[in-house]
């Protein structure tokens, strides 16, 4: 059945011959496990392309939507967390594999004549891989993405001579925004992938043209690529894939908070593969900065490209290449110590110190905070924000907000979300200043342990607290330690007074408490019922 189709295709396209030529390519007898890294690198690229396309099916590349759509992918789309994990950890894996491949080729001297151009295409592929990293981790539009982009565009802008044009090209002139985002996205998905495919094509073509580099002194008869070497490649690829899959499935892929240019508590750090460059910049200040940001990295790339022209001796056994081994060892040591220094100097994030010691349930909240729950419910905040359990996940989880934001920030944010959080899809909240204060007061007390008060606080108490707050009762009375002490504290009122007494007292305080300073309050029957019930529950 299949045979006639294959023959038909072979006759029209020559595909079978082409595949056979590819598989039965002759390779040196000394080829072995060390040659699998190139194939693993190509496999990594294919996994990145595949998962990247899948992500693009549910992703909106604009600052306003990127974060929310990515959150949607990881929290709501079936299998989305795994696909994103594969793409995220796949990027790191590709970086590792490409560097190992480069180190192996360097150590064995496989770049020597006539393979100089193969090596140079490989160096270009290394740079492209870094390019993916840089343009890729902007795309989640979380804090790390934002600051990495700020720093990267600033470095580009400081390039001697062409900085201004580079900055304009990256859309980073002025502020980081929709244009920058579009350009980085276009680079990541439209420029780099075809460029990578082209470079891989050139690279593999050159490998085939010159043949796999034999070990020095290998005079044994050649062997076929298939099946023995393909077997080794497959094992190498499979091991890499299993590691990648386990990481994607088991390790949580980081997604920080929505990018917030005003958040000064965030400590920007690049991905691990840029940490050495990040650390290098610290050593050069003022006019010398360009040395760390451009000259040294530029020289390193030049040195890599020039390697085949510097080391032009005859091919030697790897054990005899002590100088090359020394150079590689020094390079690894340098990069590793820069990276280690960068990690060591990164302060621990504040988020572990989340012990705010807030109250545990609604009865311990002040009336103002409890009224905040009322506004939280009234404005349907939970339809977008998670707060502990329950609530949707479009907006950030609010249980950690208190650690990072002030009341003033929150109130500005309620009034004009776009101004404080560019790109957010949150609508402005239409409440009075006093009501917004109350909402902010509650959110400042919210932590993961007391978040259940949001759902458990009975509606009568919440409404009662809103009446209490709207009438400024706290100007004279204390509840749970909040408010003034002109009048008596209202905690434990139920032990002292009956419902009738409290209701009658609101209507005419002086009748029941002669000499009282409290003015009479004209509540609607519902308001009276709610505030009385609330106070009696304290």
Partner 1 sequence: MTGPAEPSRRSFHTTVIYGLWTLIAGALSLPAAIYLLVPPRARKEGQWVEAGDVAQLPLRSPEEVVFRRNRVDGWKITSEKATAWVVKLSEKDVVAFAPQCTHLGCAYHWDARHGNFLCPCHNSVFSIEGKVLAGPAPRPLDRYQAKLADGKLLLGPVGEAQS
- Contact residues toward partner 1 (CB under 8 A) are 47, 50, 54, 57-58, 60, 65, 68-69, 71-72, 75-80, 82-83, 221, 223, 227-228, 230-231, 234-235, 237-238, 241, 245, 383-384, 392, 394, 425
Closest CA relative to residue 273, chosen from 150, 130, 155, 132:
130
CB of 197 to partner 1, least distance (A): 19
Nearer to partner 1, 72 or 272 (CB): 72
CB of 30 to partner 1, least distance (A): 15
CB of 430 to partner 1, least distance (A): 14
Nearer to partner 1, 235 or 330 (CB): 235
3-state secondary structure of 109: coil
CB of 93 to partner 1, least distance (A): 14
CA angle 179-181-185, nearest 5°? 120
CB of 68 to partner 1, least distance (A): 5
Nearer to partner 1, 82 or 126 (CB): 82
Q: Which residues contact 375 (CB under 8 A, 6 or more apart)?
A: 431, 435, 436, 438, 439, 442, 466
Nearer to partner 1, 75 or 491 (CB): 75
CB of 515 to partner 1, least distance (A): 47
Neighbours of 254 (CB within 10 A): 10
What are the φ and ψ backbone dihedral angles of 21, each rounded to 5 degrees? -60, -40
Q: What is the DSSP letter of 251?
A: S
Nearer to partner 1, 142 or 447 (CB): 142
CB of 138 to partner 1, least distance (A): 19
Structure tokens, 103? 């180190």
Closest CA relative to residue 236, chosen from 115, 356, 100, 383:
100
Do 118 and 111 form a contact (C-beta atoms < 8 A)?
yes
Nearer to partner 1, 72 or 521 (CB): 72
Structure tokens, 384? 């977008």
Angle between helices 459-470 and 367-378 (to 10 degrees): 110
Q: What length does the chain have?
A: 538
What are the φ and ψ backbone dihedral angles of 531, each rounded to 5 degrees? -70, -35
Nearer to partner 1, 238 or 283 (CB): 238
Half-sphere exposure of 47 (CA within 13 A, CB side): 27
The span from the first CA to the last CA of the chain, in angstroms, equals 83
3-state secondary structure of 127: helix
Q: Which residues contact 299 (CB under 8 A, 6 or more apart)?
A: none
Dist. CA 116–CA 203, nearest whole Å? 11
CB of 227 to partner 1, least distance (A): 4
E strand spans, 1-117: 26-27
Nearer to partner 1, 85 or 422 (CB): 85
Dist. CA 54–CA 248, nearest whole Å? 15
CB of 241 to partner 1, least distance (A): 5
Do 53 and 236 form a contact (C-beta atoms < 8 A)?
no
Q: Please spell the DSSP secondary structure of 51-63, one letter per residue.
A: HHHHHHTT---ST
CB of 78 to partner 1, least distance (A): 4
Nearer to partner 1, 427 or 520 (CB): 427
Nearer to partner 1, 54 or 465 (CB): 54
What are the φ and ψ backbone dihedral angles of 139, each rounded to 5 degrees? -65, -30
Nearer to partner 1, 207 or 248 (CB): 248
CB of 22 to partner 1, least distance (A): 14
Nearer to partner 1, 57 or 161 (CB): 57
CB of 221 to partner 1, least distance (A): 7
Dist. CA 121–CA 70, nearest whole Å? 34
Half-sphere exposure of 21 (CA within 13 A, CB side): 7
Do 237 and 122 form a contact (C-beta atoms < 8 A)?
no
């Amino acid at each position: 059945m299949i045979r006639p189709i294959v023959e038909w295709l072979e006759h029209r396209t020559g595909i079978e011959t082409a595949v056979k030529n590819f598989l039965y390519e002759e390779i040196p007898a000394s080829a072995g496990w060390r040659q699998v890294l190139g194939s693993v690198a190509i496999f990594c690229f294919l996994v990145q392309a595949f998962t990247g396309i899948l992500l693009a099916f549910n992703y909106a590349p604009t600052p306003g939507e990127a974060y929310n759509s990515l959150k949607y992918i990881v929290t709501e789309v079936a299998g989305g967390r795994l696909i994103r994990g594969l793409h995220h950890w796949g990027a790191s894996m590709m970086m590792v594999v490409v560097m190992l491949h480069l180190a192996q080729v360097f150590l064995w001297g496989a770049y020597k004549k006539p393979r100089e151009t193969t090596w140079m295409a490989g160096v270009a592929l290394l740079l492209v891989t870094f390019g993916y990293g840089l343009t890729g981790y902007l795309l989640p539009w979380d804090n790390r993405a934002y600051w990495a982009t700020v720093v990267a565009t600033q470095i580009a802008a400081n390039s001697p001579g062409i900085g201004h044009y580079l900055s304009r090209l990256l859309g980073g002139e002025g502020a980081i925004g929709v244009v920058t985002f579009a350009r980085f996205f276009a680079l990541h998905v439209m420029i780099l992938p075809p460029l990578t495919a082209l470079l891989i094509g050139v690279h593999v073509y050159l490998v085939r043209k010159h043949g796999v580099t034999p070990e020095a002194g290998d005079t044994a008869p050649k062997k076929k690529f298939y099946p023995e070497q393909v077997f080794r490649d497959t094992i190498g690829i499979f091991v890499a894939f299993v590691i990648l899959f386990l990481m994607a499935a088991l390790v949580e892929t980081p997604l920080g908070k929505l990018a917030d240019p005003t958040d000064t508590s965030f400590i920007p750090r690049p991905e691990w593969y840029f940490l050495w460059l990040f650390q290098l910049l610290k050593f050069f200040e003022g006019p010398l900065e360009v040395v760390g940001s451009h000259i040294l990295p530029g020289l390193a790339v030049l040195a890599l490209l020039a390697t085949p022209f510097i080391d032009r001796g005859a091919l030697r056994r790897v054990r005899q290449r002590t100088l090359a081994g020394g150079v590689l060892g020094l390079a690894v040591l340098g990069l590793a110590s820069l990276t280690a220094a960068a990690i060591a100097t990164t302060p621990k994030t504040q988020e572990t110190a989340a012990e705010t010691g807030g109250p545990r349930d609604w009865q311990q909240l002040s009336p103002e905070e409890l009224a905040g729950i009322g506004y939280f419910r009234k404005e349907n905040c939970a339809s977008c924000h998670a707060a502990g359990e329950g609530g949707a996940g479009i907006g950030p989880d609010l249980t950690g907000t208190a650690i990072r934001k002030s009341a003033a920030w929150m109130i500005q944010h309620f009034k004009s979300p776009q101004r404080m959080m560019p790109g957010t899809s949150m609508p402005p909240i239409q409440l009075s200043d006093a009501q917004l204060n109350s909402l902010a007061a509650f959110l400042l007390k919210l932590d993961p342990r007391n978040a259940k008060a949001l759902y458990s606080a009975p509606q009568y108490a919440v409404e009662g607290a809103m009446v209490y707050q709207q009438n400024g009762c706290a100007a004279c009375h204390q509840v749970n330690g909040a408010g003034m002490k002109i009048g008596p504290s209202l905690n434990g009122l139920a032990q002292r007074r009956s419902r009738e007494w409290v209701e009658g007292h609101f209507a005419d305080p002086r009748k029941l408490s002669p000499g009282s300073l409290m003015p009479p309050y004209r509540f609607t029957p519902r308001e009276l019922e709610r505030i009385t019930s609330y106070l009696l529950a304290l």
